[in-house]
Amino acid sequence: MNTFTYRYPVTVYFGGKAAEKNLPAELARVGQNVMLAYGGGAIKRNGVFDELMGLLTAAGKTVTEFSGIMSNPTYAKVQEGARLARENNIDFILAVGGGSVIDCCKVVSAQAKTDEDLWELETVLRGSPTGFIPMGAVVTAFGTGAEMNNGAVITNEEKKVKGPLWGAFYDFAILDPAYTMTMPMGQVISGSFDALSHCMETYMGSPREANLSDEINEACQRNIIRNLRATLKDPRDIKARSELLWAAAMGENGMLKIGKVTDFQAHMLEHQLGAYTDCNHGQGLAVIHPVLYRHMLPEAAPQFARLAVNVWGVDPAGKTEMELANAFIDALADFIREAGLPTTFTEMGIPADTDYKAIADTTVFTGGCCKKFTREELLAVLLECR
């Protein structure tokens, strides 16, 4: 294990009726003016909006709605939210939804408290925001674990970059598995794969020898695989949904990253794919991972071999390390097909004339990856994914 300091600031309320049981006390601690942030309006159709508005009204809050937060939230949407927060003297943000809403609000929270352009501050000047509007999250769609950290993935359409910005931590997160029951099955599948990807990307970092964080990680991966299969068999299985919801949170609450330098090269490649195509994140990862991992085989064989045995249940008897490593990638690819995820960019509907060279040329390299890729190799990966 590497040297580490661990601190976790988010209070998690998990379980049935978590909002009803815990939100009134949290609202009593915040100011009068509350921004209720959400996406395309699903929460108005499934009853979550009415429930939360009832709790906000009972608490005597003045509510400003910030709606229409899209998948792959844009920097322009962040600026819209920040303006709305300033104009209405917002004291507290309640973000309701999945990773897109929750990420967007982290940056809104910071941008609303400064006149500096956050993209310029963080990516050019290498500074950090210091003031934030307090926030709470109500999770209705699992996968990203976005409520567990202060990182946000934002698309800057002008610059053709989809990348990380850093904002506020949530003061609390409400995770009620019942809220996820109206998730479209496609979103359940892609979100679950995103959660599995987070675990794999963390596992594939360093140190590369067996360690406690990775052993906990293996359990999370097994859990996601088992419970996605259960959910595919019975979409109304609330126990499986609750496991997936917490597994996604575990992937991003820092527990699996203790003592680790993470990889996340697949994520960086998919982010830039998303910047150029606005594609589904989990689907993009599903296409990229097996291809990228084939390119990583010589360097990553020991870790892949452990995953084959400890996560996918491959019998190691009579197999070399390289054979086990290949068996892991085969098992992962088979699971992607089993879940009904796409295996090529063509299946995702990505246009044939997409500028893959530009995507490769603008992808961030990650220091934790066991293979030091070149731009040419990343382009080769993308072309194989077509």
Average pLDDT estimate for 186-208: 97
Tell me the CB-side half-sphere exposure of residue 310, using CA atoms within 13 A.
17
Judge if 158 and 254 occupy the same domain.
no
Average pLDDT estimate for 144-150: 95
Output helix, strand, coil percentages for the chain, rounded to the nearest 5: 55, 10, 35
**How far is C-alpha 36 from the geometric centre of its chain's CA atoms?**
21
| Per-residue pLDDT at 1 exceeds 80 | no
* Count of structural domains, the chain: 2
Judge if 119 and 16 occupy the same domain.
yes
| pLDDT tens track for 96-123 | 999 999 999 999 999 999 999 999 999 9
Judge if 208 and 224 occupy the same domain.
yes
What's the pLDDT score for residue 8? 87
Q: Following DSSP, what letter does each residue of 127-169 receive, concatenated?
A: --------EEEEESS-SS-GGGSSEEEEEETTTTEEEEEE-PP
For residue 363, the domain's CATH number is: 1.20.1090.10
Please check whether residue 56 lies inside any domain of the structure.
Answer: yes
User: CB neighbours of 44 closer than 8 A, spacing ≥ 6?
Assistant: 50
Tokens encoding 337 = 């097909």
Q: Which of 136, 152, 179 is the last residue of a domain?
A: 179
| pLDDT tens track for 234-263 | 999 999 999 999 999 999 999 999 999 999
Q: Which of 141, 158, 179 is the last residue of a domain?
A: 179
Please check whether residue 304 lies inside any domain of the structure.
Answer: yes
Judge if 223 and 156 occupy the same domain.
no
What's the pLDDT score for residue 227? 98
Indicate the pLDDT class of residue 299, thresholds 50, 70 and 90: very high
Burial class of residue 323 (count of CB atoms within 10 Å of its CB; 0-12, 13-18, 19+): middle
Please check whether residue 206 lies inside any domain of the structure.
Answer: yes
For residue 62, the domain's CATH number is: 3.40.50.1970
CA distance 273 to 286: 13
Indicate the pLDDT class of residue 307, thresholds 50, 70 and 90: very high
Please check whether residue 5 lies inside any domain of the structure.
Answer: no
The chain-wide mean pLDDT, for the chain, equals 97
Judge if 161 and 205 occupy the same domain.
no
What's the pLDDT score for residue 4? 85
What's the pLDDT score for residue 7? 82
Judge if 189 and 205 occupy the same domain.
yes
Judge if 122 and 224 occupy the same domain.
no
| Per-residue pLDDT at 282 exceeds 90 | yes
CA distance 247 to 244: 5
Judge if 354 and 370 occupy the same domain.
yes
CA distance 61 to 52: 11
Please check whether residue 51 lies inside any domain of the structure.
Answer: yes
CA distance 277 to 225: 28
| Per-residue pLDDT at 365 exceeds 90 | yes
What's the pLDDT score for residue 74? 97
Please check whether residue 1 lies inside any domain of the structure.
Answer: no
Please check whether residue 2 lies inside any domain of the structure.
Answer: no
What's the pLDDT score for residue 6? 82
Full residue range of the structural domain in which residue 300 is found: 185-384
| Residue 94 host element (H or E) | strand 92-97
What's the pLDDT score for residue 204? 98
What's the pLDDT score for residue 3? 84
First to last CA, the chain: 38
Q: Which of 160, 179, 198 is the last residue of a domain?
A: 179
| pLDDT tens track for 6-62 | 888 999 999 999 999 999 999 999 999 999 999 998 999 999 999 999 999 999 999
Judge if 159 and 249 occupy the same domain.
no
Average pLDDT estimate for 355-381: 97
Judge if 255 and 155 occupy the same domain.
no
CA distance 109 to 31: 14
Strands 11-14 and 161-166: unpaired
Q: Following DSSP, what letter does each residue of 314-375 receive, concatenated?
A: ---TT--HHHHHHHHHHHHHHHHHHTT--SSHHHHT--TT--HHHHHHHPPP-TT-SS---H
Please check whether residue 6 lies inside any domain of the structure.
Answer: no
Share above pLDDT 70 across residues of the chain, in percent, rounded to a whole number: 100
Judge if 243 and 340 occupy the same domain.
yes
* Torsion angle of the four alpha carbons 230, 45, 15, 58, in this order, in degrees rounded to the nearest 10: 180
Residue among 336, 363, 342, 118 at smallest CA distance from 228: 336
| Per-residue pLDDT at 196 exceeds 90 | yes
Judge if 29 and 90 occupy the same domain.
yes
| pLDDT tens track for 213-229 | 999 999 999 999 999 99
| Per-residue pLDDT at 2 exceeds 90 | no
Average pLDDT estimate for 326-351: 98
